[in-house]
């Protein structure tokens, strides 16, 4: 019952993609494990175990595959762009599991990963500044509007809610849930955090909600949109590097 309530509130507040796109959880968990000396060398094996716990959902395996490709690129000094690795992970996922081409969650995961990869490379060391975070969230929200059209309530002010609650959901709620799953007596911390999120969302619901009565966009259009964004992203990064070389 509570799960349905949370889902409805996330839809109404334009935050449902944060829970659907579980690939972001893999990146967060990878960063946490990479800082622990005891398990640092076995990070990918632990993440594979976590993927099994999620029943190998498409976004989860896509994120794991991206991290494996990133590790290979770093070890062999291939210097491959994260944008290209996102595209490569998409190709491998569909090649190994052709049925995933109809997975909307995979598409959302790919679009989110692509924007995050593009913005991290574009901003470089400035990616954690407030302007960079705001523009990243704005771009992410704009791109997510395509796969969420017809499924979620959308409004431009949703960017602000994504900017404020997004990091709290990913950086606080998810780690507490993982901690509660490992150490069951601490599960009450996750319950309290979830109840707090419900309390916030209930008071925000209806403040700016805009119902989208249109039908969902076709999967073919969304895949074309993803490939188009990959091309634009790669061209943007090449242009930026050329400009930097000319100015340097």
* Model pLDDT for residues 109-122, shown as the tens digit of each residue: 899 899 989 888 88
As a whole number of angstroms, the distance between CA 202 and CA 150 comes to: 22
Is the whole-model pTM more than 0.75? yes
How far is the C-alpha of 244 from the C-alpha of 142, rounded, in Å?
28
Residue 155, pLDDT score: 63
Yes or no: say if 223 and 101 are a contact pair by the CB < 8 Å rule.
yes
Name the token pair of 143.
Answer: 């791109």
State whether residue 70 is helix, strand or coil: helix
Instruction: Render pLDDT for 158-213 as a digit per residue (tens, 0 to 9).
Output: 666 766 777 677 667 777 777 777 788 888 888 888 888 888 887 776 555 455 56
Element (H, E) at 157: none
């Amino acid at each position: 019952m509570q799960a349905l309530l949370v889902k409805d509130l996330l839809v109404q507040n334009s935050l449902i993609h944060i829970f659907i796109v579980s690939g972001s959880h893999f990146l967060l968990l990878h960063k946490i494990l990479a800082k622990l000396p005891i398990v640092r060398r076995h990070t990918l094996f632990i993440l594979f175990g976590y993927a099994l716990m999620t029943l190998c959902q498409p976004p989860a395996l896509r994120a794991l595959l991206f991290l494996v490709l990133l590790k290979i690129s770093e070890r062999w000094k291939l210097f491959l762009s994260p944008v290209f690795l996102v595209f490569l992970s998409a190709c491998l996922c569909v090649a190994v599991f052709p049925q995933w081409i109809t997975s909307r969650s995979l598409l959302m995961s790919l679009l989110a990963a692509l924007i995050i990869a593009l913005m991290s490379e574009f901003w470089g060391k400035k990616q954690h500044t407030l302007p960079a975070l705001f523009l990243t969230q704005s771009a992410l929200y704009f791109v997510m509007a395509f796969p969420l059209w017809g499924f979620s309530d959308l409004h431009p002010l949703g960017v602000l809610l994504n900017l404020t609650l997004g990091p709290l959901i990913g950086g606080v709620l998810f780690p507490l849930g993982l901690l509660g799953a490992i150490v069951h007596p601490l599960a009450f911390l996750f319950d309290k955090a979830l109840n707090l999120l419900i309390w916030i969302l209930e008071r925000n619901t209806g403040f700016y909600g805009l119902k989208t009565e249109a039908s969902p966009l076709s999967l073919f259009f969304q895949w074309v949109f993803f490939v188009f964004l990959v091309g634009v992203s790669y061209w943007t990064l090449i242009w930026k590097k050329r400009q930097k070389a000319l100015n340097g």
